[in-house]
Amino acid sequence: MLPEPHIVLSPMLQSSSKWTRPSFTFALLFMRTAGRSGFPAVAMLICISLMLPLNLKGQQAFSFTQYMNNQVPYNTASSLLDKDGALNLSFRKQWLGVDGAPASVLLSGSFPLVKMRASSGLNIIHDQFGVEQLTSANAFFTKAVRLSEASYLGMSVNAGVKYYRVGYSDLDPFDVKFSDDLRRTTGTAGFGLLLYQPERYYAGISLPEFAISKQNSALKSQNNTLYVSCGYLLGDEDLKIKPAMMVSYTEDLPLLADISTMIYLKEQLGLGGGVRTTGEISGVVTYFFQSNFNLGYSYQTGVGTHTAGPANATHEITLGYRFGYFTRPRFL
């Protein structure tokens, strides 16, 4: 049997270790707009600490370009931001036309428990890269505690299972050396904290998948990813602006930061972009239908690195549905 691999699924080739000029510009814009609009001191402190110039390169357990539009997979406490509940489906594909290229599918759903000021839901993520596959499913429960007239603290817990497979037999079904596939299953648990004001801001920290047991090195790099995120929404019905940021740290790997800004026109069309501290940039477009549906597309590519160009681009499509009648789009 072949030795167990130690490969991270859905890898973004991280080659840059410098804080990029676009990253600094987005960070400066975020601090100025948030500071002038009454962003709470605690939330501001978290965001500023994330913007310090760090040597950043690494890989995440899972990564989606449109993280700013669906934070639930990273921090389940953010499900409290949506009082109606929602279902979201995302498909991410790298290196189109290349057999075995990284691909990810995400299904997340949250359902409000209004009388309890709580929510519950489920996240399912499937990653595939060549003959490697990783599937995880987590159920969560989130409770909100009122801190003031407008602000809340959300606390969430989740538990689930993770299944990892390396299909050696797919390489050559007629070679006995590749007849033994590698399969591993492990339990996971996690938590999330979120300071927020509905339709205004959020700042949170989470550890969504902490492995209950580590029986092999193949799953090690997929465990214990810590996420810190914040976002702010300002504007009116005609024009809304949402700067957001997420920093992740995976055990034994350096930090990784994503910074983005979305602009929403007439509460129907969203346009935006983002930068990653490893040298990628992205563009995002989202359209909100009157029937509670929304559809999004993003394009991500490297800049000035060996990952630059259409051949190494990442495409992502999202489809969302919000429950309830006459529901307005949710932008935070």
Residue 316 structural domain: 21-322
How confident is the model at residue 173, as a pLDDT? 72
How confident is the model at residue 15, as a pLDDT? 33
pLDDT of residue 316 exceeding 70 = yes
How confident is the model at residue 202, as a pLDDT? 98
CB contact set of 91 (below 8 Å; sequence gap of 6+): 103, 104, 105, 106, 316, 317, 318
CB contact set of 212 (below 8 Å; sequence gap of 6+): 186, 187, 188, 189
Which DSSP state fits 52?
A: S
Give the CATH number for residue 243.
Answer: 2.40.160.40
Cβ atoms of 14 and 305 within 8 Å: the answer is no
pLDDT of residue 24 exceeding 70 = no
CB contact set of 10 (below 8 Å; sequence gap of 6+): 62, 63, 92, 94, 102, 103, 104, 127, 129
pLDDT of residue 188 exceeding 90 = yes
In a domain, 212, yes or no: yes
Mean pLDDT within 87-97: 93
Of 37-46, 209-218, 249-258, 321-330, least confident by mean pLDDT is 37-46
Q: Which helix (H) or strand (E) holds 286?
A: strand 280-288
- Give tens-digit pLDDT for 256-294: 999 999 999 999 999 999 999 988 999 999 999 987 999
In a domain, 6, yes or no: no
Mean pLDDT of the chain: 82
In a domain, 278, yes or no: yes
The residues that bridge with 116 in the sheet, in sequence order, are none
- Give tens-digit pLDDT for 115-146: 999 999 999 999 999 889 999 999 999 999 99
In a domain, 195, yes or no: yes
In a domain, 9, yes or no: no
CB atoms within 10 A of CB 155: 17
Reduce the DSSP state of residue 87 to 3 states and report it.
strand
How confident is the model at residue 238, as a pLDDT? 95
- Give tens-digit pLDDT for 302-314: 987 665 566 679 9
- Rounded to two decimals, the pTM is 0.80
Q: How confident is the model at residue 212 (pLDDT cuts 50, 70, 90)?
A: confident
What is the crossing angle of helices 21-36 and 41-50, to 10°?
170
- Number of helices followed by number of strands (H, E) in the chain: 2, 15
For the chain, percent helix, then strand, then coil, each to nearest 5?
15, 50, 35
Mean pLDDT within 84-90: 97
Tell me how many domains the chain contains.
1
Which DSSP state fits 308?
A: B
In a domain, 258, yes or no: yes
Distance CA 273, CA 264 (A): 12
Cβ atoms of 64 and 229 within 8 Å: the answer is no
% residues pLDDT > 90 (the chain): 60
In a domain, 310, yes or no: yes
Of 34-43, 168-177, 236-245, least confident by mean pLDDT is 34-43
Q: How confident is the model at residue 16 (pLDDT cuts 50, 70, 90)?
A: very low
Mean pLDDT within 167-193: 83
Look-up of token digits 């602000």: 151
pLDDT of residue 45 exceeding 50 = no
In a domain, 4, yes or no: no
Q: Are strands 86-94 and 314-322 parallel, antiparallel or unpaired?
A: antiparallel
